[in-house]
A and B are shown apart, each in its own frame.
Chain A
Amino acid sequence: MVEETPWQQALRYANRANPYPFYEELRKTPVSRQPDGTFVVSTYREIVALLHDPRVSSDPRKCPVPAGAQAQGSGESVAEPIREVLTEPNIITCDPPEHDRDRRMMMPHFVGPPHAPQLICDLEPEIRRIVGGLLDDMKGKTRIDAVDDFAYPLPVTVICKVLGVPLEDERRFHHWIETALDALDFGPEAASEEIRSRQAGARQAVQEFGQFAADLLDRYARQPGPGMLSALVNEDGPEGRMSKGVLASNALLLIFAGHETTVNLIAHSVLTLLRHPDALEKLRRRPELIVPGVEELLRLESSVQFWHTRSAVEDIDIAGTTIPKGAPIFLAYGSANRDPERFTDPDELDLERRDNQHLGFSQGIHFCFGAPLARLEVQIAVGEFVRRVQNPRLVEDPPPYRHNQIFRGPRHVLVDIDGIRD
């Protein structure tokens, strides 16, 4: 049997809780070609260079051999089920000028000053109310699940409000998202029977999810309502309106990204602080450290560990290697954020770290659209958790992880507590 590459090992489910030793091995070859032809970039400097390189495409349609295809031995990418349903691109799966135009059209309905500079900060009271309610509900309990009881409900409620998605549909799309994510695997296990059998389910889930988004948009076209999606459907700006397909694709992206990533970030933040009681205590004493602290937590356990839709549209010479035209490129943010060439003592948690320009939200033109909202949610959630939860203790370390590698996060984080302060 051929020995697995560090990257393949990092992607194995058994190593989900701690892929970092494999990343460390991986960084010895900053740009490493994998057996399936994918080029994995693992060092900070190289990733930043490629994020700003106009020869790198984010449009999977421009990649002749999709990532993961050979691993599966089918010539079909592991992401194929999603792609065939989402025929239209969204802002992270297309290049300029389409990307720039669509992002420009979405921005004013989110945070784009001068159009809506207050939109995110005006959500603060609502976020505090939700977080407060979640903590109140824990009163009387001695054991909680920091994922189900805390990390999950907040982002999903907020993103529904921002986008204008009815919260009562949450159970349905939560199921679709889970089903789709569980079938998406970029590691050696992608070829396993189990994963392949999940793909049919994923295909159907994405199909139904797409239909759900299309119906919602139709409804807003007939009768405008609150939130960003309705505003985009009824957009009447100088650049016209997005096509229905593109709009549906972006709606899916925002619902998806808006809660998946933030859930993992809150869960990981709680988990990391429980593993570092000194840091937790420091944050309790100095609540103002929550702002740099969240950046550090995001660096240490970045929500999106790598991204899979990029490819080289020209030959690119980098770090002594040529990434040939047409090759898929994986940018391993999770590895870059612990690159010792960039961060001193990268595996240490330092809530006061200076010069902490992590890649937790990426960089360049695809810099996370939702970053300002995610930051505010996590700052409030983690800050309040630290302030109000009495004597929290981790029950199981490492906790069980979800299957997906890109949106890596614990499925449950059980915590024993003495009580909830007011």
Chain B
Amino acid sequence: MTLRATVAELVREFRASGRIVIVGASLAGLRAAETLREEGFTGSLTIIGDEPYEPYDRPPLSKQVLKGWVPADHTKLPRMREVDADWRLGVAATGLDRATKRVRLADGEQVPYDRLLIATGTRARQWPNPTEAALQGVHTIRSRDDAEQLQKALAESPSRVVVIGAGFIGSEVASVCRELGIPVTVVERGSAPLVGALGGVIGEIAAQMQRDHGVDLRCGLGVSSLEGDSGGHVRRAHLSDGTAVDADVVVASLGSIRNVEWLEGSGLAAGFWGVGCDAGGRVFDINGVVTDSIYVAGDVARAPHVLYEYQFLAMEHWDNAVFGAEVAAHNMVNLEPHYHPHLLLPGFWSGQFGVNIKSVGVPPFGDEIVFTQGSVQERRFAAAYGHRGRIVAAVTFDHGKWLEYYGKLIERSGPFPPPPPGWDQPPDMKPMPAEFPDPRVPTAVPDVVLTGHAPSERTAEFRPRRH
């Protein structure tokens, strides 16, 4: 038997009777499971999720669900095919033993694997003071339960809502409040809403949009403490400028934390920014060596991106979860040279204050911005981001149909500023600084993160020089 034949036989055998464990039962976990079956994997498949629910969709939670249009339990993700898996829902993974190839669960059980997919995603950052966070009326929004509780609170017509953090989620919550006629104060540490994801120029437009819709927007400020009444219900937020805002509901929208704690001690390149992997979803160990049996997909993954100077990107985007999972799953049941890369051009959408905001590429990678189409005044426009003379991202307000064009330009590393449109040109087409905040300035974390290098986190052991 030749070596080639042996390898082919191994792949066949693994597909027929291998054991795959997926940790994380959300969008990425489900799509990975479906892809594994699609690719002909007939071995045993275990899916572990800490929530008691079947996989559900998150984008509606901060929009349709909060508005009361759709109940939170009607967000179940559609199934593309049978996955025939052993679902372990409502039990969290607590540890990973790579030597014995086992995942440890909170209930003490250990699940053996031949190949493992990490899809544990992120969780909402809680209000840092635990006593204040425990007050009734203090919410975060990430899970189905969160959305259900916040929806109930909003349906009771609170006298005022305070939203802490004006990233996408915070801004969407504020938008829903205004649609429901609820007074809302938004407190943002940065100079404007959405500033981390889209920069100060767009942030200023978003700020004006919020104010036009009656949001009491306070930028450059933090919340220093939350005050409750004798019944343990939140009643007031104290701001860093010494003022206070009375409110019955507080939504902490402080970005997300990557669910990597369970990987502590596993020797994988997992940390604050997520789990490092190659473009095929294969996880690195702490020395930067690729593992053979562990893969990662979704919000928790970070991989070098060819279009962005091989910076490591972590993307909290819906399609990143889908496509990343498909690629990782494919690679889990194949071998070189049949690996696929996950080279997605990032993109996201948000609906707020009646405007559909869409973006493609990585805006914070750019340092300049130019308005290319439409009218800022009417809040219907397209703008491109540039870095060293090439286009790296674009954003549209109610102009989403043009995104495809900008996407193609970005893929080809087209020039910045891009060629002018033949019509509907904005009055000012001069590039200007995009005004992204200094990374050290705290703001609601953008949902694409350039995770770069963090030398202080390095825990590798170096090989001594041989003389």
Question: Which A residues are within 8 Å of any B CB, using their own CB?
Answer: 48-49, 52-57, 59, 62, 95-97, 100, 312-314, 364-365, 367
Give Cα distance in the complex from A136 to B421, angstroms. Answer: 54
5 nearest A-B pairs in the assembled complex, by CB-CB distance: A313-B422, A54-B421, A52-B405, A96-B424, A52-B404
What is the CB-to-nearest-CB distance from B197 to chain A, in angstroms, rounded to a whole number?
23
> Does B423 interact with chain A (Cβ within 8 Å)?
yes
- Least CB distance, A61 to chain B, in whole angstroms: 11
Let me know if B420 and A314 touch, CB within 8 A.
yes
Say yes or no: B408 contacts A49, CB within 8 Å: yes
Task: Indicate if the CB atoms of A57 and B422 lie closer than 8 Å.
Answer: yes
CB distance from B345 to the nearest CB of A (A): 14
CA distance A367 to B404 in the complex (A): 14
Q: Which of B89-97, B218-226, B256-264, B372-380 contacts A (4 or more CB under 8 A)?
A: B372-380
- Does the CB pair B424–A54 fall under 8 Å? yes
* Mask of B352-388 contacts with A, CB within 8 angstroms, 1/0: 0000000000000000000011110010100000000
Task: Give Cα A123–Cα B281 distance, bound, in whole angstroms.
Answer: 48
Closest to B422 in A: A313
Interface residue B87 (Cβ < 8 Å from any Cβ of A): no
Pick from B378, B380, B405: contact of A54, CB under 8 Å: B405
Known contacts A97-B375, A364-B401, A365-B401, A56 near B422 by CB under 8 Å: yes
Question: Contact at B402–A54, with CB atoms within 8 Å?
Answer: yes
Which residue from chain B places its CB closest to the CB of A57 in the assembled complex? B422
- The CA-CA distance from A57 to B372 in the complex, in Å, is 16
> Once the chains are docked, how many angstroms separate the CA of A56 from the CA of B375?
19
- Tell me if A314 and B401 are in contact (CB < 8 A): no
- Chain B residues with Cβ below 8 Å from A96 are 373-374, 423-424
Closest to B421 in A: A54
A-B contact list, 23 entries, CB within 8 Å: A48-B404, A49-B405, A49-B408, A52-B404, A52-B405, A54-B373, A54-B402, A54-B405, A54-B422, A55-B420, A55-B422, A57-B422, A59-B423, A62-B422, A95-B423, A95-B424, A96-B423, A96-B424, A97-B380, A97-B424, A313-B423, A365-B401, A365-B402
Could you tell me the distance in whole angstroms from the C-beta of B140 to the nearest C-beta in chain A?
Answer: 28
B393-435 CB mask vs A (1 if < 8 Å, else 0) is: 0000000011011001000000000011111100000000000
Contact code string B227-257 (vs A, CB < 8 Å = 1, else 0): 0000000000000000000000000000000
B-side contacts of A57, CB under 8 Å: 422-423
Please, which residues of chain B bring their CB within 8 A of the CB of A100? Answer: 380
CB distance from A348 to the nearest CB of B (A): 23
> How many contacting A-B pairs (Cβ < 8 A)?
51
Bound CA–CA A57/B420 (angstroms): 13
Task: Report the bound CA distance from A97 to B379 in whole Å.
Answer: 12
Please measure, in the bound complex, the distance between the C-alpha atom of A400 and the C-alpha atom of B408, giving whole angstroms: 43
Residues of chain B within 8 A (CB-CB) of A49 are 405, 408
CB neighbours of A52 from chain B (8 A): 401-402, 404-405, 408
Nearest-neighbor residue (CB-CB) of B398 within chain A: A100
Please name all residues of chain B whose beta carbon is closer than 8 Å to the beta carbon of A364 when the two chains form the complex.
401, 404
In the complex formed, the residue of A with least CB distance to B69 is A114
Contacts of B423 in A (CB 8 A): 54, 57, 59, 62, 95-96, 313
Closest B residue by C-beta to A51: B404
Give the one of B408, B419, B420, B423 with max A CB within 10 A.
Answer: B423
Residues from chain A with Cβ under 8 Å of B420 in the complex: 55, 314
Contact A55–B421 (Cβ < 8 Å) = yes
Question: Chain B residues near A367 (CB, 8 Å)?
Answer: 401
* Separation of A95 and B375 alpha carbons in the complex (Å): 14
Complex: chain A residue closest to B400, CB-CB? A365
Smallest beta-carbon distance A239→chain B, Å: 10
Contacts of B372 in A (CB 8 A): 54
Distance of A314 Cα from B421 Cα, bound (Å)? 8
* B408 contacts across to A, CB distance below 8 A: 49, 52
Task: Determine the residue in chain A with the shortest Cβ distance to B418.
Answer: A54
CB–CB A314/B375 < 8 A:
no
What is the chain A residue whose CB lies nearest that of B372?
A54
- How many angstroms between the C-alpha atoms of A93 and B289 in the bound complex? 58
Q: Which residues of chain A come closer than 8 Å to B401, judged between CB atoms?
A: 52, 364-365, 367
Contacts of A62 in B (CB 8 A): 422-423
A57 CB, nearest partner CB in chain B, Å? 6
- A228 to B102 alpha-carbon distance, docked (Å): 64
| Contact between chains at A97 and B422 (CB < 8 Å) | no
Contact across chains for B374 and A97 when beta carbons are under 8 A apart:
yes
Bound Cα distance A55, B405 (Å) = 10
Asked if B374 contacts A314 (CB within 8 A), the reply is: no
Chain B residues whose C-beta falls within 8 Å of the C-beta of A55 in the assembled complex: 419-422
B424 contacts A314, C-beta separation under 8 Å: no
Tell me the smallest distance from the CB of B374 to a CB of chain A, in Å.
7
CB neighbours (8 Å) of B422 from chain A are 54-57, 62, 95, 312-314
- Complex: how many Å from CA A53 to CA B373? 11
Residues in B with CB closer than 8 Å to A56 are 422
Q: How far, in Å, is A361 (CB) from chain B's closest CB?
A: 14
A-B contact sample (4 more), CB < 8 A, given A97-B374, A314-B419, A364-B401:
A49-B408, A54-B372, A55-B419, A364-B404
Instruction: Please name the residue on chain B nearest to A312 by beta carbon.
Output: B422
Q: Closest B residue to A94 by CB, please name it.
A: B423
